Chains A and B, each alone.
Chain A
Amino acid sequence: MKKSLVDYVVRRIIQFVILVFISTSIIFILPRLSTDTGPVEQAIGRVMSQGQYIDPQAVEQLRENLEITYGLKGNIFQQYFTFWGNFLRGDLGPSFAYFPTPVTELIFNSLPWTIGLLGITTILSWILGNWLGGIVGTNRNNKWSRTVEVIINGFRPIPHYILALVLLILFSHIFPVFPSGGAYSPGITPNFSWSFFLEVIKHAFLPALSLFILGIGGWFQGMRTLVSHIIQEDYVTYAKLTSIKKNEIFRGYILRNAMLPQVTGLALQIGMLFSGTLIVEIVFNYPGMGLLAYEAILRSDYNLIMGVTIFSILAVALGTLFIDLIYPLLDPRISYGE
């Protein structure tokens, strides 16, 4: 491979490692900034408030065990060291709400649902958004273009929670077309059959629809602006003059050049797309990481929240890395160096 390409890949991977390191350290420090009641005190407070008499020695023992569980034993440097030791071994501690299930197991159970929802909606909305944006950008004096634009842009500012709630109310409550939650009806065990697949699609439709509607706006608007600048470029005018077919101009000249900033945009948006997926999952009780985080909040499950946050950071950073690594395939200028 060309040296500049190897350079680029190596640089990106180093950036990835530094990024994960810094973000995880921030997540590590944040809870420890709270000087008053930490999670250990909160947990003990909950136990004590139940009214029974508990032997003081037992409380001390409880406190020590909780400190080990929450990774709060020792001074801050020892904690940091233990944390990374455990983390690199794949141990994020036991979940307090679903004791003693380890946090990693809970996360791995929910992760596929989130990735599936997020992945499919992102790909669909990105492709369709860009394609529609490109078409509207090139044929702007059409009445249809203006209508499509108004409709798509109309949904953009609405926060995820509100749109998801409105869709839930409309299509599950008022017109009971779709099921109101979960990934599949209770009582069915997941298997790889066709009927289960259909169940999943039926349940995932509304969440996916909310994410799709909200996602498509951004790509659409970005693409449209990009295209409206590109069609004024000289090479497009030249292509038109040499009577290359309109479709070919659209695909080869306009779309290909507008694609690059959109790919970068995708890499930058992954964090926000992830947050959006979480919110939608909570509204629809979809068993992904979002619901896991919500349950953790309700039950003050400290370890689980930390685990979910760290995992999300990892997932987002990995997604960004992946996109940055396929970037040279799309932009030949990178592999030829600067």
Chain B
Amino acid sequence: MNFKDLFKKDLRFKIGLIIIVVIVVFSSFSFFSPIDPFSTYYAPVNRAPSLNYIFGTNSKGQDLFWMTSFAFRNSIIFGLITASISRIIALLVGTVSGYKGGKTDSILMIINDSFITLPVLLVMILVAMVFRRLPFFLLAVILAFFGWPWDARLFRSQILSLKERKLTYTARFSGMKTLEIIFKIYFPHLTPIFFSTFINNMIWSLGLEVTLSVLGLTSLQIPSIGTTIYWANQHQALILGIWWWLAIPIIGAILLFTSLYLVTISLNEYIDPRVRAQGGIS
């Protein structure tokens, strides 16, 4: 995969990547933050953005610049955790199901379909309510166990089509063992799906994190995009006119999601070999 080419030719990839890099750099500022994200009332309350406080301050007396940096860092790590774990599950299930076929396949796919039709938001609400105030990143892991079914099917259908191709027969008749075939031959074909669904899954899990936090169901002390909006709502920021407390996480989130999405669709088009041969979807 030639990223430099993609960067030069596809405007969407360029814009998306640049915005993501900017956001990631911004969230890494939190590693050098002079303040503790859990401390409150160290800055004057409800000041509009100014030279002293670039993003302003909120009703809890916190400097929004550093808080937003922490917020984005935590949310991004959340998304990364969920996406990685669910990729691994999806890959395992999809490969086993696709290669073995038969009864294993049927059983796994029935379980898969049950998970697909679950309205995940409600189940997560139930889980969060029951297990009151889960640790933030544990929630990410739990979410991963609901994010794999869709992509497991993708991996499975790819494996199914690979199984029928000459390269499988050649490999098998040359005496390659099953595991060897899967790792050495199939995986290179699965890598593109792995990466594009990774980002897709990140978008999904970030959206769910924002939603759950806004409903007040996550660790509310940990700054994240969702919890910032939660606290802004709790302190009636809109009515009090503290627009920057809401606007900054919202605009930042929109930028983050849009840039991730741009990268996904440009990667998807690049990966599809038919599209690449045509020089883009035309």
Contact = CB atoms under 8 A, between A and B. Distances in A.
A160 B207 contact: yes
Given A19-B110, A34-B131, 7 more contacts: A19-B117, A30-B126, A158-B254, A161-B229, A169-B238, A275-B119, A313-B118
A305 B126 CA distance: 7
B117 to A, nearest CB: 5
A101 B8 CA distance: 63
Given A30-B127, A274-B119, A302-B129, A159 B253 contact: yes
B134 to A, nearest CB: 10
A209 interface: no
A272 B117 CA distance: 8
A178 interface: no
A157 B117 contact: no
A282 B215 contact: yes
Interface in A296-317: 297-298, 300, 302, 305-306, 308-309, 312-313, 316-317
Interface of B: 110-111, 113-114, 116-123, 125-127, 129-132, 150, 203, 206-207, 210-211, 214-217, 229, 238, 246, 250, 253-254, 257-258, 260-261, 265, 281-282
Interface string A17-29: 0110011001100
A185 interface: no
Interface in A258-303: 268, 270-272, 274-275, 278-279, 282, 293-294, 297-298, 300, 302
16 contacts: A15-B113, A22-B110, A159-B206, A159-B207, A159-B257, A160-B207, A162-B253, A173-B238, A268-B150, A270-B117, A275-B119, A275-B120, A278-B119, A294-B215, A306-B126, A309-B126
Interface of A: 15, 18-19, 22-23, 26-27, 30-31, 33-34, 37, 39, 42, 140, 153-154, 156-162, 165-166, 169, 173, 225, 228, 268, 270-272, 274-275, 278-279, 282, 293-294, 297-298, 300, 302, 305-306, 308-309, 312-313, 316-317, 320
B200 to A, nearest CB: 10
Nearest to A168: B238
A254 B252 CA distance: 40
Given A22-B111, A157-B260, A157-B261, A320 B117 contact: yes
Pairs A-B, 9 closest by C-beta atoms:
A157-B261, A159-B207, A275-B121, A157-B257, A309-B122, A31-B130, A312-B119, A22-B114, A274-B119
A31 B150 CA distance: 25
Contacts of A270: 117
Nearest to B203: A157
A161 B212 CA distance: 10
A162 B210 contact: yes
Contacts, number: 123
Given A30-B127, A169-B238, A300-B129, A271 B110 contact: no
Contact of A37 (B122, B132, B214, B265): B132
Contact of A158 (B121, B238, B257, B282): B257
A166 B217 contact: no
A39 B120 CA distance: 22
Contact of B121 (A15, A31, A279): A279
A2 B134 CA distance: 53
Contacts of A302: 129-130
A271 B118 contact: yes
A265 to B, nearest CB: 11
A338 to B, nearest CB: 16
A30 B206 CA distance: 23
Contacts of A309: 119, 122-123, 125-126
Contacts of A158: 254, 257-258
A316 B123 CA distance: 13
Contact of B211 (A22, A26, A160): A160
B119 A316 contact: yes
A271 B147 CA distance: 13
Contacts of A293: 122, 125
A23 B253 contact: no
Nearest to B226: A161
Given A37-B132, A154-B258, A297-B125, A19 B215 contact: no
Nearest to A298: B216
Nearest to A32: B130
A161 B210 contact: yes
B234 to A, nearest CB: 12
A27 B238 contact: no
A156 B153 CA distance: 23
A261 B282 CA distance: 21
B250 A162 contact: yes
A271 to B, nearest CB: 5
A268 B150 CA distance: 9
Contacts of B131: 34
A162 B209 CA distance: 12
B278 to A, nearest CB: 10
Contacts of B126: 27, 30-31, 305-306, 309
A225 B117 contact: no
A26 B146 CA distance: 12
